[in-house]
A and B are shown apart, each in its own frame.
Chain A
Amino acid sequence: MTTHQARPPSYDADAQGWFGGAGTGFGGRFMPEALVAALDELTVAWHEAMADPEFVAEFEAILRDYAGIPSPLYHAERLSQKVGARILLKREDLNHTGAHKIRNVLGQALLTRRMGKTRVIAETGAGQHGVASATAAAYFGLDCTVYMGSVDTKRQALNVARMHLLGAKVVPVDSGSATLKDAINEALRDWVASVDHTAYLFGTAAGPHPFPSMVRDFTRGIGDEARAQCLEQYGALPDAIAACVGGGSNAIGLFTAFLDDEDVAIYGFEAGGDGFETGRHAATIHAGDRGVLHGARTYVLQDEDGQTIESHSISAGLDYPGVGPQHAHLAAVGRATYLPVTDDEAMQALALLSRTEGIIPAVESAHAIAGALKVAEQLAAEKGPEVTMLINLSGRGDKDMETAIEYFGLGHEDVVLSDQVTEEPVGDVR
């Protein structure tokens, strides 16, 4: 299934990386001059690679033979019965390393080799992108250094061990809030000094041009495959599609194929943390404050002086105070709808999917499940049980067992988990 030279993406950026136009839109490149030459070089190399059939064929062969891609599109029948609508899951949790992220890192690492660079660096929050980067570096024989906030290296010791086993160097970052955003800062500082031989494997569809568009190109197979699978298996497109949004790489990977399908409603679910009203959340688009973070104009959690505010989420992968600029654009023009899902709603959905389908999702993906099931119930109430909701199950939950043990008090006989779909209606549509 050749997908990565499919039709050009809609709602795309202009040549300078602006989604929706310079000045009024989102994206661009707010970066030190020292990195501009490297970003220009990367932009040219990425364009040439994506236009080269040999590069695309090699990328897809590696995805197939090494990472188990395309992932299946699975009809979750017991869950569908409960909701009263047809629920389809794009099984990115079955990919090598357990999430959609392997697509992005294999694409960027293959490009790194093509550019003749020998070292890769990456940032990571919970460690998933770090593990994926270390995996890709091992596969291609590249040196790898991963920057990780020292708060995160302590709470994600297992992933630190994985990266070590895969041969990567893990550098704990103590500056700032010692979490993901500071790991990105430190990776950028490394890159300024090492750019002649080092590629920065950015972990999400955010950052300066060309990263938002390039990461989308490497992850868009999710939606291209799902769209074809849905048509082949059910003879029709879904009524709605849904994904969780932190930086937004799995979401833009799913959404891209459907942007021109006007009858397909698109939903992104952000981390609502303790609840939007508490201020302890990572619902960047929902909070809706324009700014510049990590090289792009986008929505940013910030105070009245423009200082970045720490985000909060039970899911480390969604715990980021910015969001990819293409999502900001899709929200601004109304092509996609972004809603917050709280920690509690996500954890209930995690339990529900585990008990109903025998699939333990990542806490990130559980946000998509929780939000999408509520929307599906509403759609089914309007249109009937033939309604189809396609959800990107972006990762598996093995990494989140500590979180689940703590949240549910697992391991005691008297723990009773709900298997009900959340009853609260979805939040206000932005």
Chain B
Amino acid sequence: MSVSIAFEKARADGRAALVGYLPAGYPDVPGAIDGLLAMVDAGCDVIEIGLPYSDPVMDGPTIQAAAQAALERGVRTADVLRTVEAVAATGTPTVVMTYWNPIEKYGVGRFAADLANAGGAGLITPDLTPDSGPDWIAAADEHDLDKIFLVAPSSTDERIAMTTAACRGFVYATAVMGVTGARTTTSDLAGPLVARTKALTDLPVGVGLGVSNGDQAAEIAAYADGVIVGSAFVRVLLDHADDRAAGLRALTALTEDLAGGVRRA
């Protein structure tokens, strides 16, 4: 199932879609699944599951800390697929966000097949651009999976055209020049980037990097098709490491705030 279904549904409701992220395996595999299911129940339209990696160059301290803890506790690529299966079973479109080497090591074709079997919708690839990813593009097409590549404020129009032509599902616009992490103010680079991207594609455009509350979500939902939130959710789990029930309640509250935001624009 392509994530585009969720974007179409949100568009029909006259609002932006809410995309929520957690890494698999933190605080442990069942704990991450519980968190993601709480986010689904409270209003996330699309779920992104992070595959923890030893060298995450695009991630700030919050996601690094959770991913590193997950790796230290022994999370494996197979656990990520298990997490996808549990979340996708709710009917909510579920994608994996991953650095490239673990996929190459698993086997690109094998991963695509196993992801499709688990009910996953596709991949977001922060360190793989379409010009470096012919293997992935071929495997995704063979298994009917979404290919979500990133565009950045520094991207030329030529590269945005090349990237969006290779995307399926949605286009991930990185709102800031920087790594993941909640920020107190939204970026003034995001609006112009979304406008440039929308001029070159009919695909939905989601904006990520830095969103942490409903007001910021509303601000972005005014011009984007989707609002992507990662570090703020992870921060909630890190802050409630000793009390999982409280962590789930806090995840639900944050999701409701953000879901309200995407409906306010």
Contacts and interface: CB of A to CB of B under 8 A. Distances in A.
Given A185-B56, A192-B58, A195-B154, A306 B179 contact: no
Interface string B9-26: 000000000000000000
Determine which residue in B57, B77, B156, B174 has the highest number of CB atoms from chain A within 10 A of its CB, and name it.
Answer: B57
Contacts of A192: 57-58, 177-179
B101 A306 contact: yes
A305 B154 contact: no
A293 B68 CA distance: 17
B132 to A, nearest CB: 6
Given A291-B104, A305-B77, A305-B102, A32 B61 contact: no
29 contacts: A29-B132, A30-B132, A31-B129, A32-B58, A33-B129, A33-B152, A34-B174, A34-B177, A36-B129, A36-B154, A36-B155, A37-B152, A38-B154, A175-B64, A181-B55, A188-B57, A193-B176, A193-B177, A193-B178, A195-B154, A291-B104, A292-B104, A293-B101, A294-B55, A305-B105, A306-B104, A306-B106, A307-B102, A308-B101
A302 interface: yes
A302 B54 CA distance: 10
Size range of the interface on A? Answer: 35 or more
Contacts of A307: 53-54, 71, 102
B43 interface: no
Given A23-B135, A185-B56, A306-B106, A36 B159 contact: yes
A23 B133 CA distance: 9
A306 B57 contact: no
Contact of A305 (B56, B76, B174): B76
Interface string A170-212: 0000011000011001001100110110000000000000000
A238 interface: no
B223 interface: no
A65 interface: no
Given A23-B134, A182-B55, A189-B178, 10 more contacts: A30-B132, A33-B129, A33-B152, A175-B61, A176-B64, A185-B55, A188-B57, A189-B179, A192-B178, A193-B179
A306 B105 contact: yes
Contacts of A188: 57
Contacts of B101: 291-293, 300, 302, 306, 308
Interface string B51-75: 0011111101100100010010000
A295 B132 CA distance: 10
Contact of A33 (B55, B61, B151): B151
A188 B64 CA distance: 14
Nearest to B176: A193
B152 A34 contact: yes
A196 B126 CA distance: 20
The 6 closest A-B pairs by CB, nearest first: A306-B105, A34-B152, A193-B178, A306-B102, A37-B154, A308-B54
Nearest to B130: A33
Given A30-B100, A302-B101, A176 B54 contact: yes
B127 interface: yes
A267 B258 CA distance: 59
A397 interface: no
A291 B150 CA distance: 22
Interface of B: 53-58, 60-61, 64, 68, 71, 76-77, 100-106, 126-129, 131-132, 134-135, 149-156, 159, 163, 174, 176-179
A196 B177 CA distance: 10
Nearest to A22: B134
Contacts of B134: 22-23
A28 interface: yes
Given A195-B177, A306-B104, A32 B152 contact: yes
A414 interface: no
Determine which residue in B64, B101, B126 has the highest number of CB atoms from chain A within 10 A of its CB, and name it.
Answer: B101
Contacts of B155: 33-34, 36-37
Contacts of A35: 154
B127 A189 contact: no
Contacts of B76: 305
A36 B155 CA distance: 8
Contacts of B177: 34, 192-193, 195-196
Nearest to B150: A33
A36 B159 CA distance: 9
Nearest to A182: B55
Contact of B149 (A30, A33, A182, A306): A33
Contacts of A182: 55
A41 to B, nearest CB: 10
A304 interface: yes
A30 B105 contact: no
A294 B61 CA distance: 18
A308 B55 contact: yes
Interface string A285-311: 000000111110000101011111000
A32 B55 contact: no
B150 A32 contact: yes
A300 to B, nearest CB: 7
B105 A33 contact: no
Contacts of B105: 291, 302, 304-306
B180 to A, nearest CB: 10
Contacts of B61: 175
Contacts of A305: 76-77, 102, 105-106
A293 B57 contact: no
Nearest to B180: A189
A176 B71 CA distance: 10
A151 to B, nearest CB: 15
